[in-house]
Amino acid sequence: MNNTMKNQACKVSPGTVITGKWHNHSYRIVRELGNGANGIVYLADYQHQQVAIKISDNSMSITSEVNVLKHFSQVQGSTLGPSLLDVDDWIRPGQIKPVPFYVMEYIKGETLLSFLDKRGREWTAVLCLQLLSDLDRLHQEGWVFGDLKPDNLMVTGHPPRIRCIDVGGTTLKGRAIKEFTEFFDRGYWGAGSRVAEPSYDLFAVAMILINSAIPKRFSKSGNTRGIDQLSQVVKTNPDLQKYEKVILNALGGHYKTAMDMRRDLVDATSSLNIKSRSDVNQRGTKPVHHQKITRAKRKKRSHIGGALETFLLLFIVLFGYILYLYGQL
């Protein structure tokens, strides 16, 4: 049975008012935000505030996700998932069986890939450093995120902060991963099992780095081992070569903790910044023969200088932000 058929009981139209049986809170549905195997998430209005409400005919799934969100709120310093606001049942008009639902914070922002398209790929490492910090806190509490992918990650606020909008795949360590998406699943690529452990999430972070550089996802080749195929992609893509060591280590399951991967990513990013400054300094030492510069060349140099100034400013902002995040450990 496909998701569409399974979710018919959760389907509601914009304008519908859902009132909880036990807490008597009313939520007016605005529009659908997304749907999956275990229900549909809607944007709703509650006392002139926007909230997200998930409706499911699977009470066990709702209970599991509610427990995850409750646990997220207890993880000190983590803002990875949305805040839980309400849990209740809804009696649909003309029906007897209650439909369980929960209400959570509505995280307003842009999806990760959309944000990178607008702001630039330079933000990829900064946001992944944030993600790894939050994942480390989650892993220390005995949970693995599971279905980690750009679709579930929102970038919001100033300065930008990465947040997750779907915790349906979050699983206790040692158990089988509940939900996954093939491209980000190490089992699909033949790179490991689907047992919930930190290295499962870190493989997904490596795939997020790959997906950030290559937005069009590709399938596993039948003629090549999955891990060899991914390694070849990393080694031949200029944007991924910058983080080759980090990505390949994560794909190979060599990191035991998220902080191990984060430290290597900080080092890789710092090395890139040092190299960039060195290149800028070398270019600045070249002699200029003023008598040979035409008006057109002056104009061209002016544009290059402006671009260089912008690059340096972006570098200073990013490097300062990385140092700030590193200091939060």
Catalytic residues: 147
- Quote the CA–CA distance of 281 and 272 in Å, as a whole number: 14
| Torsion, CA 163, CA 167, CA 172, CA 178, rounded to 10 | -130
Long-range contacts, stretch 314-319, CB < 8 angstroms, 24+ apart: 314/120, 314/122, 315/273, 315/276, 315/277, 318/122, 318/123, 318/126, 318/273, 319/270, 319/273
- Which residues, at least 6 apart from 185, have a Cβ–Cβ distance to it below 8 Å? 177, 194, 204
3-state SS class at 2? coil
163-197: b (≥16 Cβ within 10 Å) or e:
bbbbbbbbbeeeeebbbbbebbbbbbbebbebebb
3-state SS class at 146? coil
Q: 53, 59, 60: which is closest to 84 by C-alpha? A: 53
